[in-house]
Structure 1
Amino acid sequence: MDTADLLERSYPGRRAELKRDIFRKALNLFNEQGIEATTIEMIRAECDTSVGAIYHHFGNKEGLVAALFFTALEDQTRLRDEYLDAGQTTEQGVQALVFSYLDWVERQPQWARFQYHARFAVTKGPFKDELAERNKMRNRRLREWLGESGRMGELRDLPFELLPSLIIGQAESYCRAWLAGRVKGSPMEYREVLAQAAWRSICADTALPD
């Protein structure tokens, strides 16, 4: 999958063609120049459109950054839920979360790189409440899945808010290093190892040091 596939999936049809083009050019500029250094005028020039058209779709630069970030988040969530729905056991569900995260980053490195860079800006900006609500919905889906068939009983007695970090934290750390060029091995090469590590960190049968 590439950037075009993700955008076609998220914003299909001819009427969304300009929006997809703005997204595509903005994503490249934000990753190449940095979010702070990139201006609406630079994006306009790349898209060969008007500043008014960009403002019409996104309001301002912060709106464009947030729209890109939420597009990435939704696509990532779509893959996560697809994998999670296929899981039967609790361990398979944990594997699904790790596998989907690693697979999405490897398939969409440009989007993942932007997502890491933009997270702070969105968290601190005018769209922070929307981000908090979206994250709450994502976590609710996970809580519901774990609540089915008594799956929570297989996990250590931990606050639920800690679970996503324990499950995804190591995979996220490796993906960041891979995108930054600090490590060479593909994230998908380590799917099994990272999934096993995530399971051991929350499984009730695994004793961790005090």
Structure 2
Amino acid sequence: MSPKQQRGEVTADLLLDAALRVYAAEGERGVTVGAVTKASGVSLGSLYHHFGSIDGLIAALAQRWLGRLLGELAMSLREAHSARGGIDAVVRTYLAFVQEHRDAALLLHSATADRYGMTRGKELRDTQEARLSAFALWLEPHIRSGELAPLPLPLVESLILGPVVAVARRWLSGIGDVDLETAARVLPDRIWRSLSP
């Protein structure tokens, strides 16, 4: 990588990191070009050069953190030796990620991310295909072996991740009626029951 490319990566990282800090402190409405350039120390021109717009910056930020989350989930599945163990690993990994990276999790579970996912779902899925494929590749043999119910993969994914995402959103909302450690203990068995043949 050339020095110019390295500087470009550093600049992009500064903008992404600043955007997350501003988002965490001010919410979606606070993420403006002025706020991000001030927080990052990076010029307006650099923001537009790297991301095209503030929306492009937010989309890149969500992609960055979604990629990290999916990467951690894929790694946890590689270490699981059974379908039940994999479900447990996914639940625990997801909830640990939410707790450890609260600011990024707020963005990933926000109305902003939902709008982006609804309008650009196929594009989003295509950019994360390798990580999503790892999940499907892990599930398929367990379904074929009869360890998991013979349901279409998108339904299996929804039955595994749906409850976890709902708990994460509730915890992130600050209501205070959900404990992630309790959820990590209880959800795997409940999800397992919904997927056992």
Preserved CA contact (<8 Å) 1:90 1:151:
no
Provide structure 2 residue ranges, at least 5 long, that are not aligned to the other structure.
Answer: 1-5
Preserved CA contact (<8 Å) 1:87 1:96:
yes
Please list, as runs of the form range in 1=range in 2, the aligned pairs for 1:139-154 lying within 5 A after superposition: 139-148=132-141, 152-154=145-147
Preserved CA contact (<8 Å) 1:80 1:100:
yes
Preserved CA contact (<8 Å) 2:143 2:150:
no
Say whether residues 1:66 and 2:59 are aligned partners: yes
Of the three residues 111, 116, 122, the one matched with 1:122 is 116
Q: Offset at 1:173? A: 1.2
Preserved CA contact (<8 Å) 1:102 1:187:
yes
Say whether residues 1:105 and 2:95 are aligned partners: no
What is the one-letter code of the residue matched to 1:180? S
Q: 1:151 to 1:14 in 2, by over 3 A?
A: farther
Match of 1:88 in 2: 81
Provide structure 1 residue ranges, at least 5 long, that are not aligned to the other structure.
Answer: 1-12, 205-210
For residues 196 and 37 of structure 1, the distance between their equivalents in structure 2, rounded to whole angstroms, comes to: 40
Calculate the aligned-residue CA RMSD, in Å: 2.3
What is the one-letter code of the residue matched to 2:55? E
What is the one-letter code of the residue matched to 2:100? R
Preserved CA contact (<8 Å) 1:84 1:97:
yes
Say whether residues 1:155 and 2:148 are aligned partners: yes
Scaled by the length of structure 1, the TM-score of the pair is 0.80
Deviations 1:131-184 (A, max 9, x none): 131455444222211233665512223222111111121121111111111125
Task: Tell me how many residue pairs correspond in the alignment.
Answer: 191
**Which structure is higher in RCO with an 8 Å CA cutoff and minimum separation 6?**
1
For residues 202 and 128 of structure 1, the distance between their equivalents in structure 2, rounded to whole angstroms, comes to: 25
What is the one-letter code of the residue matched to 2:59? A
Q: Secondary structure at the match of 1:153?
A: coil
Scaled by the length of structure 2, the TM-score of the pair is 0.85
Of the three residues 36, 40, 49, the one matched with 1:47 is 40
Q: 1:17 to 1:135 in 2, by over 3 A?
A: closer
Preserved CA contact (<8 Å) 2:84 2:192:
yes
